[in-house]
Amino acid sequence: MTRAFLGLFAVLVLVGVSAASAPLLVDGVVASVGNEPILQSDLVQDAGPAIQNLRSSATSQEAFEREVEKALRAALEQAVEYQILYQEAKTAGIKVPDDDVEKRMGMIKKQYESSEAFQKALEESGRTMSDFRERIKRQIMAMSMGIGKRREFEKQAVVSESDMAQYYQDHSGDFVHPPRVQVRRIFIAADKGPKARKEAKAKLEAVRDELALGAAFADLAKARSQGPEAAEGGLVGWVKKGDLVPELDNALEGVSVGGLSPITETEYGFTLMKVEAREVEGTTPYESARKEIEPILRKKVGDEHYQKWMGGLRKRSNVRVFM
């Protein structure tokens, strides 16, 4: 490890890589983007959860130290990218709803043992709640900018028929599938409290009633689902046995095409699924596979353009790394 990383590692060991205390013991500038500094405390806070997992899975102290250094370097690279993207987001006039900031803050607070532990960490770090909120807002603006650019590059990507045919030939084994089912879902998140569970289930029961009256599943998924695929009408895509958590796997058994699963509870909340299609074991023909191949290739080309774009921004942003 470099001396700077050894210093950070020593702090992580001293605090037990606790998300509630890691930011308290270190500070200093590890990098800068233009005139904006990136602090050690931010880096340790961002890397803390990943490093806690490494502590429980590492086979030796040496292996742990190697993985810690990787995690810290990854956190540093992400922090630099976020700062560059934040500046681009400001220029583009990207706005972040207050509700999105509060939701993200709530997710971070849950990493702490209690609300009191979070508040103590905040106070001892010398930061205010306003400082914390502003940092989260900047991160969301940066992520929005990055996601938007990736989608723009993917949309602009040119994928030819010959490109798709070649991919199908080169990855023929990927298109041999076991029995599978194409699924849409409406997901309502809920914590483990009985009140939250009851309310989440009631929301899905109301959705099921609307479906019985003739509402379109995709439309309700767009309007009500809290799953990442909500914007696509809840389309999860093709899944095989074992792709979903056991509760959802079991809920799909015996559901006919066009039918609905029971409302199913998991540790994350409640889910209602619709079976769009079923297929027995076989090989997906090219004409069907090309619908899966095109977005894969678009993403690949989009990623290449995104990395080139980010590289140009990084050169213009006067990035300095002091570690």
Domains and CATH numbers, the chain: 3-153+315-321 (1.10.4030), 178-280 (3.10.50.40)
> Number of helices (H) and strands (E), helices first, in the chain?
11, 9
Query: What is the torsional sign of CA 58, 64, 70, 72?
Result: positive
- Tell me how far apart the alpha carbons of residues 78 and 108 are, in angstroms, rounded to a whole number: 17
Sequence-distant (≥ 6) Cβ neighbours of residue 72 within 8 angstroms: 5, 8, 9, 43, 44, 47
Calculate the alpha carbon distances from 111 to 50, 114, 194, 273, 281 in Å. 12, 9, 21, 30, 42
Do the Cβ atoms of 125 and 41 come closer than 8 Å? yes
| CA atoms 209, 215, 216, 220: torsion sign | negative
The residue type of 312 is G
Rounded Cα distance, 265 and 204, in Å: 11
Q: How confident is the model at residue 48 (pLDDT cuts 50, 70, 90)?
A: low
Give the Cα separation of 155 and 9 in Å (integer): 42
Q: How many CB atoms lie within 10 A of CB 89?
A: 22
Residues 6+ apart with CB under 8 A from 242: 249
Whole-angstrom Cα distance, residue 159 to residue 320? Answer: 37
User: 296: which DSSP letter?
Assistant: H
Reported confidence tier of residue 56, pLDDT bands at 50, 70, 90: low
Please compute the mean of the pLDDT values over residues 76-97 and round it to a whole number.
94
Closest CA to 112 of 20, 50, 41, 24: 20
Strand partners, 185: 273
More confident residue, 128 or 188: 188
Dihedral sign from CA coordinates of 52, 54, 57, 62: negative
**Over the range 139-168, which residues count as b (16 or more CB within 10 Å of their CB) and which as e?**
bbbbbbbbeebbeebbeebebeeeebeebb
**Which two structure tokens, joined as six digits, stand for 187?**
């997901």
Question: What are the φ/ψ torsions at residue 35 (nearest 5 degrees)?
Answer: -100, 5
- pLDDT band, residue 301 (cuts 50/70/90): very high
Predicted confidence at residue 49, as pLDDT, reads: 65
When pLDDT is averaged across residues 158-185 and rounded to a whole number, the result is: 95
Residue range 161-185: mean pLDDT, rounded = 95
Q: Is 320 helix (H, G, I), strand (E, B) or coil?
A: strand
End-to-end distance of the chain based on CA atoms, in angstroms?
10
**How far is Cα 177 from Cα 241, in angstroms, rounded to an integer?**
11
99-125 pLDDT tens trace = 999 998 888 777 777 788 778 767 766
Query: pLDDT value at position 8?
Result: 52
